[in-house]
């Protein structure tokens, strides 16, 4: 059995893959010319300045926020490198995009299900049942959203890179050489996937919100928004534990999230796997690998 490797995470981007290691983050993109370009930078975290933020629960909120920031930067670089944008997004544009994305998520997964739940209030008076119905409705919206975007041709290609990211990380964690042949043999599903995380967020919110009573609509919406960091913190600890544990009950618990990855990942082509290899080689902590970098 191979020794455990340091955590390496990733994200699919436009015509590429972003990988995040212990010290570096790198985004590899296949340019229109066919060459692979890699942008690599040293990781900086607010937790280095304030170690208390590394404590359980707090570290999940910080990790989620920093992942959003790095993810937006990686998407901006990939769009430019792939020839879809003339220049990278500015810090202000990234901030505005994040605010818009978070606002849209709150509308879809908080305001709409919370508002819709009031229509069964006349038939159901138990607040826990009402809140549970709201959570189930939130899950349904989430599944429909995933299903809808999975049918889009451009997104399907991104999902192929998502599969390449997972298969490459599996190969690295197994201690095997990062070759197309080795990577091809591994699963495109991974227990630490963001898809798993989002599903766990949905389930945790159902349990947590069930005990909040049934106040006025604006209070229900406000309580859910305020508690989102708590939900994210709990979900992060669960997904972190699941990524390390080999217990059978843990594998069973994350099975629904693994099933959902059949929608959010696709089998990659060899050239997409090569891009994922370039990204991971740039951040792996166990050896230095020369790559073409853009500062």
pLDDT (average), residues 98-120: 89
Segment 139-177, tens digit of pLDDT: 999 999 999 999 999 899 999 999 999 999 999 999 999
What integer pLDDT is reported at residue 86 of this predicted model?
67
In this prediction, residue 192 carries a pLDDT of: 86
What's the pLDDT score for residue 240?
82
Render pLDDT for 53-69 as a digit per residue (tens, 0 to 9): 889 889 888 988 888 88
Q: Is residue 290 very low, low, confident or very high in pLDDT (cuts 50, 70, 90)? A: very low
As a whole number of angstroms, the distance between CA 28 and CA 252 comes to 34
Q: Are 97 and 118 in contact (CB under 8 A)?
A: no
120 compared with 186, residue with greater pLDDT: 186
* Domain boundaries along the sequence of the chain: 9-283
Split at pLDDT 50, 70, 90, the class of 15 is: very high
Asked if residue 4 has pLDDT above 70, the reply is no
Q: What pLDDT is stored for residue 85 in this prediction?
A: 72
Q: pLDDT higher for 1 or 68?
A: 68
Nearest 10 degrees: CA dihedral of 42, 48, 53, 58? 10
Q: What is the pLDDT of residue 294?
A: 40
pLDDT category, 293, cuts 50, 70, 90?
Answer: very low
Tell me: pLDDT of 284 over 50.
yes
Would you state the pLDDT for residue 292?
Answer: 42
Interval 39-97: pLDDT, tens: 999 988 888 888 898 898 898 889 888 888 899 999 999 998 988 776 766 778 778 88
Rounded Cα distance, 154 and 152, in Å = 6
Q: How confident is the model at residue 287 (pLDDT cuts 50, 70, 90)?
A: low
pLDDT in tens, 189-234: 998 888 989 999 999 999 999 999 888 989 999 999 999 999 999 9
Task: Compute the residue count for the chain.
Answer: 295
- Give the whole-number percent of the chain exceeding pLDDT 70: 94
Helices 127-150/255-264 angle, 10° precision = 30
pLDDT confidence of residue 157: 95
Contacts of 192 by beta carbon, 8 Å cutoff, 6+ apart: 7, 9, 239, 240, 242, 243
23 near 283, Cβ under 8 Å?
yes
Round to whole Å and give the CA distance between 206 and 187. 30
Give the whole-number percent of the chain exceeding pLDDT 90.
Answer: 55
SS3 at position 144: helix
- Residue that wins the pLDDT comparison between 84 and 120: 120
**Cβ atoms of 281 and 5 closer than 8 Å:** no
pLDDT of amino acid 60: 87
Does pLDDT of 260 surpass 70?
yes
pTM of the model: 0.87
Average pLDDT in the chain = 88
């Amino acid at each position: 059995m191979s020794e455990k490797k340091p955590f390496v995470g990733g994200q699919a981007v436009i015509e590429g893959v972003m990988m995040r290691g212990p010290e570096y983050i790198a985004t590899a993109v296949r340019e229109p010319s066919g060459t692979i370009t890699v942008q690599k930078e040293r990781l900086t975290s607010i937790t280095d300045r304030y170690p208390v933020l590394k404590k359980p629960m707090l570290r999940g909120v910080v990790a989620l926020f920093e992942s959003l920031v790095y993810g937006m930067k990686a998407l901006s670089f990939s769009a430019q490198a792939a020839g879809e944008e003339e220049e990278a997004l500015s810090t202000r544009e990234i901030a505005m995009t994040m605010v818009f994305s978070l606002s849209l998520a709150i509308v879809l997964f908080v305001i709409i299900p919370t508002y819709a739940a009031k229509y069964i209030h006349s038939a159901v008076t138990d607040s826990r049942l009402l809140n549970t119905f709201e959570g189930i409705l939130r899950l349904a919206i989430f599944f429909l959203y995933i299903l809808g975007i999975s049918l889009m041709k451009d997104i399907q290609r991104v999902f192929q890179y998502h599969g390449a990211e997972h298969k490459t990380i599996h190969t690295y964690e197994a201690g095997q050489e990062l070759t197309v042949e080795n990577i091809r043999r591994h699963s495109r599903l991974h227990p630490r996937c963001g898809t798993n995380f989002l599903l766990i967020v949905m389930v945790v919110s159902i349990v947590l919100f069930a005990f909040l009573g049934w106040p006025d609509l604006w209070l229900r919406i406000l309580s859910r928004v305020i508690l989102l960091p708590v939900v994210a913190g709990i979900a992060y600890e669960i997904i972190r534990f699941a990524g390390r544990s080999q217990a059978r009950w843990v594998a069973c618990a994350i099975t629904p999230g693994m099933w959902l990855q059949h929608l959010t990942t696709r089998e990659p082509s060899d050239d997409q796997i090569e891009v994922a290899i370039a990204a991971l080689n740039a951040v792996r902590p166990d050896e230095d690998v020369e790559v073409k970098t853009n500062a």
